[in-house]
Structure 1
Amino acid sequence: MILRRTILLTYQINEQFKHLTREYHIEKQLNNDLINETYIRMGPIDVHANIGDVASFEVYLSKPIDEPIEITFQCDPKCNTFDIGDLTNITLDRDHMKATLNFTAIYAGHDTILAFIENNRSMDKFNLDYAFVRIRVGHNQFLGILGIVFGWIYFFGWSISFWPQNITNYKRKSVVGLNFDYTILHFTGFLFYSIFNLSLYFSSTVQDEYEAVHPRSEIPVELNDVVYSLHAAAVTSITWTQCMIYERGDQRLSIYGKLFQLCTWSVGSILLVLCFFKVVTWLTFIYYFSYIKLVVTGVKYLPQVYFNFVRKSTAGWTIWMIYLDIVGGSMSMLQMLTIAYNYNDWTTLLGNLPKLGLSFASIFYDIIFLLQEFVFYPNTNNPKMIKRASILTNLSRRRSTLKNIDNSYDHLCKMDSSISSSDSSNVNNTNESSNNAPSFMVHK
């Protein structure tokens, strides 16, 4: 009972917070852009209901008007979740600047309700940019709560998954076995993801550009997205720092990793300059970072997979990160499926193929790591094997150093031999010259 109440309270807080965030953003835009205009506003901007619920929204004027206006309502393109007959025409005037309308949710799905002024001659006098409401109707509240629960589980699962590797590195004071290309890709991906989320969530300029491209659409970034990406960027930066200060053997960042970093940051810098000169929009600039994040997520595990294959060992690579990653990836997929079914909106699933594909890619790589850990290279990730791998790495590095010393010694010996031969040759030449010299020079 306590768990049920806690989950229900979390669901209500989550919905209320999203509602307040969206309303605040719209009110801020209205105050900045339409403060001198007379506009018709509908709210709340997002109405969520379940089948059988009676939902409501308000329509109001921003300023008093001289003549009354009649307002009608239509769905774009058609009503899928309720009967449009529930929404009767209303009249607003100086004395009645607000009206409340009710409708009964019949089918699961989503709709967008638009307001129109009946008298076309009055249309130009009013701004109707925010005269709309987005409707989402679910099958039942349980599925809505289940989607929230899946969301928080994958949020914590993926967030915690970054820490086991750092803890392992700290205990060993070594990063031997952790591929550097994977580490820098991991950090770069979440740093770029943070830039994207922060810009789209907090920047009014970016939000305005997004709404110009996608009118009447929701901003696709929530607060938990911002928190998750910032936390991930911070933790992966710690991992990269550990690679710089702990024992690393002969491991280095490959030329491919260096080229990738050079190219991505160079292109980002060029786009930033173009933004200041208004050649490209800020929305284009931040979308660049999201695309790089998608590419990174698809390939970042490859260096570690190949590294384990070459060593025939998973020593130094913690499997706990994979366990938590599987939890996060599977819960993310379950959340998408639950939301798509609950709101009868499979376009949200198929229309977000990058996220769906990345979830599959994450689980695919996790399966490979599990096979490497328990099938291909078993018993190689225990403390003794990790210590042995570290010792072997150090021995390999020392052998390499000794080999270089031997090569240098051989080179010096050859040089000494060459010098000795040269000196001997010079002495012989001198003796021969003395023997062949004229007698008067000898006697002299």
Structure 2
Amino acid sequence: MDMLTNYFVKFIWLSLLTIVILADPSINDDENPSEEQSTNNSLESDPIDVQMLADETAFFHVYLINPPEKPVNVSFICEHSPCSTFDHQINPIQLTSDNYRIQINITAVRPGHDVIIFKFNDTTISDKFAFTRVRVGRGQFWAILSLFWGWGYFFIWSLSFWPQNVTNYRRKSVIGLSFDYTILHFTGFIYYSIFNCGLYFSSVIQEQYEAKIPRSEIPVELNDVVYGLHAAFTTSITFIQCFIYEKGNQRFALISKLYQATVWTIGIILIILVWFNVINWLTWIYYFSYVKLMVTSLKYMPQVYFNFRRKSTAGWTIWMIWLDITGGSFSMLQMLTIAYNYDDWRTLLGNLPKFGLGLASVLYDLIFLFQHYILYRNSTTELSSPSSSSIEKCPSIKASTISLQNSPCNFDSTTILVQAKPSSNK
């Protein structure tokens, strides 16, 4: 129980620390006055994201927060010239105190992705949000299909965490489940949730991300946050079950303990550096995202080896694998559909970690299916203690007349035969 206590202390400490980050917007803020404080106006777009189909016409508004003291001339260029989604030039406009909100119409001619940047020469006006992101799709069918893949993998992957917990509960045993896989699975989603919650909820971290990658979208959505927190909760149940149910002689490997100690020690060192302004919060949460990538690439290996060593998949529920391989396939299909729909394969190349993680999950799942249905298909009986199972199979035995080597009961080296005392018949 000591290890269980230690891990939950770390979990509680980390949860409190995350709350502090989210609750205190002044942490690690820049000492210099922000751009909004040094200017009295701002040029912005409404909406900032425009989604449309090829050959369609859409619009967005360019406006100033406050009326300008003098006319402001605004021109438009694409971040990556020439523009990929439309051929015509957007005519310059002039914003005045009487008309400081103007509608801009654009007609897309091909699928793609553009960032339209507003150019002007008034230094008293902030240009932080002076841009519009435009995404042009091939057709509504591909958008609906992408939505189907996205919600499909969200629900299927979320559901995949429960079958192992139910199996452990019914058996009141975790024999057959690798402890090293369990701790990697559990802590991996804690790392993932730190990254998602920090980037989704913290305005400070969002500003740091915007400064690092200007005019980019925050790469975390609400479903990512919910998925990560749900996964951390369900895998924590599996972790607890390893301490309260029958486990045989299984223990955590030394290398697993050293790995966890190293990860958390580095995390503590980095947070000290944050407090001394050596690094910022964005760097800190990205550390955990990189650890999560490594964990996902390696976490299945202990269970693969555990099944191989036992020559059995008993205790390892195959339903989790079927759900996992389906969710992983849906995740990759969504990315491919989005890239094709918007003719923007940079989104696929720019998010190779997500695509690689889906691919890694599918490859590992194929190994588990091969082990379960081919290699060890005759060794998937429910696990129990050797002595009780042997006696149940052969309830009436006589140690003096049976040969252990030739016995059909297949006793192993741990089976103890007890000479039955003949009953007396009256």
- What is the TM-score when the length of structure 2 is the normalising length? 0.81
CA deviation map 1:157-201 (0-9, x unaligned): 110000000000000000011000000000010000000000000
How far, CA to CA, are the matches of 2:167 and 2:69 in structure 1? 72
Tell me, which stretches of 5 or more residues in structure 1 are unaligned?
A: 1-31, 394-398, 403-444
Q: Distance between the aligned counterparts of 2:174 and 2:386, measured in 1?
A: 11
1:387 aligns with 2:389: no
Partner of 2:309: 310
Alignment of 1:356-395 (within 5 A): 356-382=355-381, 385-387=382-384
| Structure 1 residue 388: Cα displacement | 6.0
Name the SS of the counterpart of 2:200 in structure 1.
Answer: helix
SS in 1 for 2:174: coil
Once the 2 structures are TM-superposed, how far is the Cα of residue 381 of structure 1 from its aligned partner?
2.5
Whole-angstrom distance in 2 between the partners of 1:189 and 1:328? 18
Tell me the alpha carbon deviations over residues 101-156 of structure 1, each in whole angstroms, 9 at most, x when there is no partner. 11111110001111112xx4xx2222112110010000011101110110011011
1:47 to 50, 54, 65: 50
Partner of 1:24: none
Residue among 43, 53, 56 paired with 2:59: 56
1:101 pairs with 2:101: no
Q: What is the aligned residue count?
A: 360
**Identity of paired residues, percent?**
56
Aligned partners of 1:281 and 1:80: how far apart in 2? 35
* Partners of 1:80 and 1:324 in 2: CA distance: 39
Pairing partner for 2:118 from 110, 115, 119: 115
| TM-score w.r.t. length of structure 1 | 0.78
Give the direction of change, closer, same or farther, for the CA distance of 1:162–1:314 in structure 2 (3 Å limit). Answer: same
C-alpha deviation, 1:391, in angstroms: 5.4
Equivalent residue, structure 1, for 2:206:
207
In structure 1, the partner of 2:84 is 80
Secondary structure of the residue aligned to 2:235 is helix
**What amino acid is the match of 1:93?**
T
**Separation in 1 of the partners of 2:281 and 2:387?**
47
In structure 2, distance between residues paired with 1:354 and 1:391: 48
Alpha-carbon distance in 1 for matches of 2:125, 2:205: 26
Query: Structure 1 residue 182 and structure 2 residue 181: aligned?
Result: yes
Superposed counterparts of 1:190-339, under 5 Å: 190-339=189-338
Q: Which amino acid aligns with 1:377?
A: Y
Contact 1:315 / 1:389 at 8 angstroms: preserved in 2?
no
The 3-state SS of whatever aligns with 1:386 is coil
- Aligned in 2, Cα 1:140/1:258: closer, same or farther, shift over 3 Å? same
Give the CA deviation at 1:333.
0.7
Aligned to 1:381, the other structure's residue is in SS state coil
The 2-side partners of 1:141 and 1:131 are apart by 29
Give the Cα–Cα distance (whole angstroms) in 2 for the partners of residues 391 and 202 of structure 1: 54
Q: CA RMSD in A?
A: 2.0
C-alpha deviations, 1:292-346, integer Å up to 9, x for none?
Answer: 1000000100000000101001010000000000110000010010000000011
Matches within 5 A, 1:427-438: none
Q: In 2, Cα distance between the equivalents of 1:157 and 1:217?
A: 29
Distance in 2, Cα, partners of 1:176 & 1:82: 61
Hey, what does 2:134 align to over in structure 1? Answer: 135
Greater helix fraction, Structure 1 or Structure 2: 1
Aligned partner of residue 103 in structure 1, secondary structure: strand
Give distance in 2, aligned partners of 1:145 and 1:388.
52
Q: Check conservation: 1:190, 1:293, Cα contact below 8 A.
A: yes
Q: Which of these two proteins has the greater Rg computed from alpha carbons?
A: 1
List runs of 5+ in structure 2 lacking aligned partners: 1-33, 391-412, 417-426
Trace 1:146-161 onto structure 2 (pairs within 5 A): 146-161=145-160
